[in-house]
């Protein structure tokens, strides 16, 4: 039971890191991103491959965040003026493209079979009996650092500029700021958080495969951010807690629901997430629409 609680804390912290990234892009800056899982995948494969090649974790994990952030520059560069509905399909398609490449190019990360026996940070440093707790502490620490950095950013002058981009792009332009540059900064930071989360995810599970990075995960993160209403870091973490509890905290339900098998329980869980998304749209449609009339 304690192990179960520790696992839920770990998953929650990881989801929360990725959700904070999306919140910076979407909640603060108004940039639609339905492909957060693509940046998780880039970060995860980066640190997994580096760690397998013998690089230390103090290098591999930051490199994961950096690789994910750098790859998002590409996306921003090609989609500077896209409207939000087009940006939604492009980001979703981008993450699916990443997954397809990882699936087909076995030389990168073993293709569909993936890579197993990934090295783990702190392994050997802490006693094996306390390892899962130590890893949970590591993910919570990563969440704390991400939250601290992001709240510093949003409270700084640049945070006001990002919100100005969300409200009305003409305003930052009028005071001589490059909207494209601001968007790129928010996008890169948010993608870097996803890369960090992806990296923490696979080193926890000790294996990596393309199937872990389907578009579903982007929707989980999206629901966490929307549930928080966008904008507040603390509430975004709370949103991630709710989503993680729906996803990971319902595994034991199988014992209490006779006549429902594993596939059905998994399907039911995803239906709950879908219903939550629909309900959020019904409940607060104006919160997710841009402030200016479309």
Residues forming the site for another protein (CB under 8 A): 32, 34, 78-79, 81-86, 88-90, 93-94, 96-97, 100-101, 103-104, 215-216, 219, 222, 226, 263-264, 266-268, 270-271, 273-278, 280-282, 285-286, 288-290, 293-294
Supply the minimum distance, in Å, between the C-beta of residue 101 and another protein. 7
Of the two residues 134 and 288, which places its CB atom closer to another protein in the complex?
288
Of the two residues 156 and 289, which places its CB atom closer to another protein in the complex?
289
Of the two residues 77 and 144, which places its CB atom closer to another protein in the complex?
77
Q: Which ranges of 105-206 does DSSP label H, i.e. alpha helix?
A: 106-109, 131-155, 157-167, 170-174, 179-205
Supply the minimum distance, in Å, between the C-beta of residue 188 and another protein. 19
> Integer distance in angstroms from the first to the last C-alpha of the chain?
50
Q: Which of 63, 31, 40, 88 is nearest to 214 (CA)?
A: 40
Q: Which of 24, 30, 58, 65 is nearest to 44 (CA)?
A: 65
Of the two residues 122 and 266, which places its CB atom closer to another protein in the complex?
266
Supply the minimum distance, in Å, between the C-beta of residue 147 and another protein. 25
- What does the alpha-carbon distance between residue 46 and residue 84 come to, in Å, rounded to a whole number? 29
Helix axes 2-22, 215-228, angle to 10 degrees: 80
Supply the minimum distance, in Å, between the C-beta of residue 270 and another protein. 4
Supply the minimum distance, in Å, between the C-beta of residue 158 and another protein. 24
Tokens of 91: 């980001």
Of the two residues 38 and 249, which places its CB atom closer to another protein in the complex?
38
- What does the alpha-carbon distance between residue 260 and residue 173 come to, in Å, rounded to a whole number? 56
């Amino acid at each position: 039971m304690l192990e179960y609680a520790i696992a839920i804390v770990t998953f929650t912290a990881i989801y929360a890191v990725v959700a904070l990234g999306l919140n910076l892009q979407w909640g603060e800056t108004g940039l639609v991103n339905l492909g957060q899982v693509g940046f998780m995948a880039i970060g995860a494969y980066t640190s997994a491959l580096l760690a397998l090649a013998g690089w230390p974790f103090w290098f591999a994990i930051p490199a994961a965040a950096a690789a994910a952030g750098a790859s998002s520059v590409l996306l921003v560069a090609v989609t500077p003026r896209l409207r939000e509905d087009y940006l939604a399909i492009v980001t979703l398609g981008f993450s699916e493209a990443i997954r397809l490449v990882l699936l087909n190019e076995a030389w990168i990360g073993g293709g569909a079979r993936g890579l197993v026996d990934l090295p783990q940070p702190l392994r050997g440093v802490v006693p094996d009996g306390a390892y899962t707790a130590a890893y949970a502490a590591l993910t919570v620490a990563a969440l704390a650092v991400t939250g601290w950095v992001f709240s510093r950013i949003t409270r700084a002058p640049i945070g006001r500029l990002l919100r100005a981009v969300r409200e009305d792009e003409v305003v930052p332009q009028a005071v001589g700021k490059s909207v494209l540059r601001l968007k790129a900064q928010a996008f890169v930071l948010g993608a870097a958080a996803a890369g960090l989360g992806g990296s923490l995810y696979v080193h926890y599970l000790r294996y990596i495969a393309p199937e872990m990075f389907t578009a579903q995960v982007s929707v989980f993160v999206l629901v966490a951010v929307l549930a928080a209403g966008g904008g507040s870091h603390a509430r975004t973490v709370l949103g991630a807690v709710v989503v993680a509890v729906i996803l990971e905290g319902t595994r034991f339900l199988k014992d209490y629901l006779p006549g429902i098998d594993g596939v059905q329980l998994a399907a039911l869980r995803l239906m709950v997430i879908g219903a939550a998304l629909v309900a959020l749209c019904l409940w607060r449609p104006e919160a997710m629409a841009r402030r200016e009339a479309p």
